[in-house]
Amino acid sequence: MPLVYCGACSHAPGITGRAERAERADTQTRQALESAFRRMGDDIRATRPDALVVIAAEHFANFFMNNMPAFAIGMADSYQGPIEDEAFLRIGRTTVPGNKALSRRLIENVMQTVDVAYAEEWQFDHGISVPLHFLTPDYDLPIVPANINCQGPPLAPLARAWAFGEALRRAADSVPERIALIGTGGLSHWPATPDSGKINQEWDREFLRRWSANDREALLSYSDAETYREAGQGGFEIRTFIAAAAAAKGAKGTVDFCEPVPIFAVSCTLGSFQLPVA
């Protein structure tokens, strides 16, 4: 079946872990953000997906510099998470369903063009658990986790992140199941540094303009040096948004929500692409 849903959203751990501090700072923005997440969840469910591919930028929950894959896809019937201290993330540990056989078919197709690693064990961190907390709070939709290394340089070039998104789209279209897909990550941010909270709104707006237009050339024109300077090391996570844009296969995007929330350390962002109705 052709891909039924394609979008992207933030995954910052502060969204759940430091929610009450945003409550003090700006109740309206936090509530609007949670509403935007719920809308995205409703939109995904409305497409009647059999599985949700989540392209995340994990943070050393599974992969480390001893053996770092540029790209990886999970291949298991269930996953555990979040790995983080429950008091830190405020999301209870749980088991999330996967679909090993479906993952395997997707991986075999992706491998036709991208040398993706596969993992039969995968612990979700906030990169997946925060979005799922809002999008599929009952954990009733099988997840196919995918990862792009955005943490331990050297990182895969943006053009390869695009190729990964294209491959995932081709793979999703090739299986009989109805597949939804989201990328999760931050735009400009300096998380877990003394500058946590710093946000380059202008840079975010320009990135989202390119993303909404699904302008491949403009999206791939960022260098990592420029991103690091203007958008921080957290900006390397644009790879997940770029892969989602590639998976949208030319469809245009709409940004449903984008508001800077310093205590969450990012411009909280949700958007989706207008795919033809499947």
* Interaction site with another protein (CB under 8 A): 17-18, 25-26, 59-62, 64-66, 83-85, 87-88, 123, 151-153, 190-199, 228, 232-233, 260, 262-263
Rounded Cα gap, residues 176 and 129, in angstroms = 27
Give the nearest distance from C-beta 185 to another protein in angstroms. 13
Q: In terms of CB distance, is 42 or 86 closer to another protein?
A: 86
Helix (H) or strand (E) holding 253: strand 253-261
Q: Name beta bridge partners: 165.
A: none
Place of tokens 């909404």: 212
Give the nearest distance from C-beta 164 to another protein in angstroms. 21
Residue 268 main-chain phi, psi, to 5 deg? -70, 125
Q: In terms of CB distance, is 107 or 158 closer to another protein?
A: 158
- What is the signed CA dihedral for 229, 234, 240, 242, rounded to 10 degrees? -20
Give the nearest distance from C-beta 187 to another protein in angstroms. 16
Q: In terms of CB distance, is 33 or 107 closer to another protein?
A: 33
DSSP conformational letter for 73: E
Q: In terms of CB distance, is 29 or 78 closer to another protein?
A: 29
Question: CB count, 10 Å around CB of 213?
Answer: 13
Q: In terms of CB distance, is 61 or 172 closer to another protein?
A: 61
Q: Is the peptide bond before 191 cis (omega within 30 degrees of 0)?
A: no
Q: Do residues 167 and 110 touch, judged by C-beta distance below 8 A?
A: yes
Rounded Cα gap, residues 67 and 216, in angstroms = 30
Q: In terms of CB distance, is 87 or 277 closer to another protein?
A: 87
Give the nearest distance from C-beta 85 to another protein in angstroms. 5
Helix (H) or strand (E) holding 15: helix 14-17
Give the nearest distance from C-beta 239 to another protein in angstroms. 15
Give the nearest distance from C-beta 134 to another protein in angstroms. 21
